[in-house]
Amino acid sequence: MSALFDASAGDQLETRTVTITRADLVAYAGASGDLNPIHWNERVALEVGLPGVIAHGMFTMSLAARYVADLAGDPAAVVAFTSRFTRPVVVPDDDAGASVELGAKVTDVADDGTRTVSVTATFDGRGVLGKAVATVRPR
């Protein structure tokens, strides 16, 4: 069963809300090797003119990739993913974290069943991923 492979062009898929905490950013920094302090150190983030500690664009993108994989029901089906990082996700120093809503819409279905999926990520009412498109191929 796959929500994504059952969907047709134009179909909007079920949204998902994910939360991002400082602890998540530390774990992602370690796992990815991206130790840029703007993603965990408030002092440095403020010094370079950011509103606070921000999530790695790649972390938000990775959460979105996982969301699409879950919709497909097969992580190996997500064969391409492209995105622009348009706005930062500011992650507060609290237990609640930042809330990001993920959305997906099928824009094309190829003859072999491959879905082109337009992905959105919204934080604080505004999009943080731009022109985000996933290619999802049935195996």
Partner 1 sequence: MPLDASFVGRTWPAETYEVSLEKIREFAAAVGADDPVHHDREAARQAGHPDVVAPTTFPVVFTWPATRRVVDDPALGLDFSRVIHRDQTFELTRPLHAGDVVTSVVAVDEIRELAGNDVITFRVDVADADGETVATTRATLVGRAGDEDGEA
- Residues in touch with partner 1 (CB under 8 A): 18, 24, 27-28, 30-34, 48, 57-59, 61-63, 65-66, 69-70, 74-76, 78-85, 139
Q: Which is nearer to partner 1, 7 or 69 (CB)?
A: 69
Give the separation between CA 41 and CA 46, rounded to whole angstroms. Answer: 9
**Smallest gap, in angstroms, from Cβ of residue 50 to partner 1?**
11
Q: Which is nearer to partner 1, 11 or 74 (CB)?
A: 74
**Smallest gap, in angstroms, from Cβ of residue 6 to partner 1?**
18
| Burial call 56-75: b when 16+ CB within 10 Å, e when fewer | bbebbbebbbebbbbbbebe
Give the separation between CA 6 and CA 45, rounded to whole angstroms. Answer: 43
